[in-house]
Amino acid sequence: MNRTTISKATIRRFGVYIQALESLGKESRVVSSDRLAAACGLHPGLIRKDLAWYGGIGRRGSGYEVHALLSVIKHTLSVDRIWRVAVVEPTVTGRALLPGTALAQRGFEVSAVFSSDCDSVGERYGALEVHPLRMAQEIVPRLGIEIGVIATAPEHAQYAADTLVRAGVYGLLCYAPVRISSQPGVFVIHVDVFQPFFTVAHALGLGDPDSRAVARRRNNVFREPGVQPDSGPRGRV
């Protein structure tokens, strides 16, 4: 099963596993698929399928060795190294990614902040000074920055993206609410921080509008695939 490409869904979950394993690892040296499943809110079988991609990394009867697992998964996701990141526009969204956040612990180091706004240029956030966007051309290669975060207003997103790409960035996360287009060879992800609110609203609002009691009585309507209906294991109230 090995030499195949991993499914997109699996890749997404690998990120979740890293997250969960980091904390599970503090408690025990080994986890079973059941335990990991509970921590992630997924079906145990799904976890075994995902991990089976490595071909027998688990031990029957006991489970998976946390450290080893973390290690291979991180390697697969290429997060067993440091990625340097540039943020364009220190907006609220942009600033939420700056050092001091958990982002750094996961191997992503924001090493530059750019802005097209004269007022912002020169401001400092911790050790970082805001530079004019036009300096990306020089700074990006010098600091070995490979990933760019677009946190501009939508109308400036494309320009910011182009500028970063020209400077050498080849992975982009766009937080602005527009679709930016990129040259081949550049990988782009569009992130909408507020989408989850929509999902919650839909779940809560089911049935007649503002009949709060109804919604309250209703069980979770969405279950992430694999999530047990409720009353979690680990379910202390």
Partner DNA sequence: CAGTGTGAATTCCTTCACAGCC
Partner DNA sequence: GGCTGTGAAGGAATTCACACTG
- List residues near DNA by CB under 7 A: 1, 7-10, 13, 31-34, 42-46, 48-49, 51-52, 55-64, 225-226, 234-235
The minimum distance between CB 4 and a second copy, in angstroms, equals 14
Residue 198's contacts (CB-CB under 8 Å, 6 or more residues apart) are none
Residues 157-196 that bind a second copy (CB under 8 A): 162, 170-173, 177-179, 181-196
- Which of a second copy, DNA, none does 34 bind, CB closer than 5 to 8 A by kind? DNA
Rounded to whole angstroms, how far apart are CA atoms 185 and 189? 13
Q: Using the rule CB under 8 A, which residue among 12, 26, 60, 124 binds a second copy? A: 12
The minimum distance between CB 56 and a second copy, in angstroms, equals 22
Beta bridge partners of 31: 64
Binding mask 31-60 for a second copy (x = CB under 8 A): -------xxxx-------------------
The SS3 call for residue 108 is: strand
Q: Using the rule CB under 8 A, which residue among 14, 33, 130, 163 binds a second copy? A: 14
Stretch that binds a second copy, among 50-58, 61-69, 133-141, 197-205 (CB under 8 A): 197-205
The minimum distance between CB 60 and a second copy, in angstroms, equals 26
Rounded to whole angstroms, how far apart are CA atoms 16 and 225? 14
- Under the binding rule (CB under 8 A), the answer on residue 200 touching a second copy is yes
Q: What dihedral angle (degrees, nearest 10) is formed by the CA atoms of 97, 98, 103, 109?
A: 120
Residue 176's contacts (CB-CB under 8 Å, 6 or more residues apart) are 150, 151, 152, 153, 154, 156, 157
- According to DSSP, residue 106 is labeled G
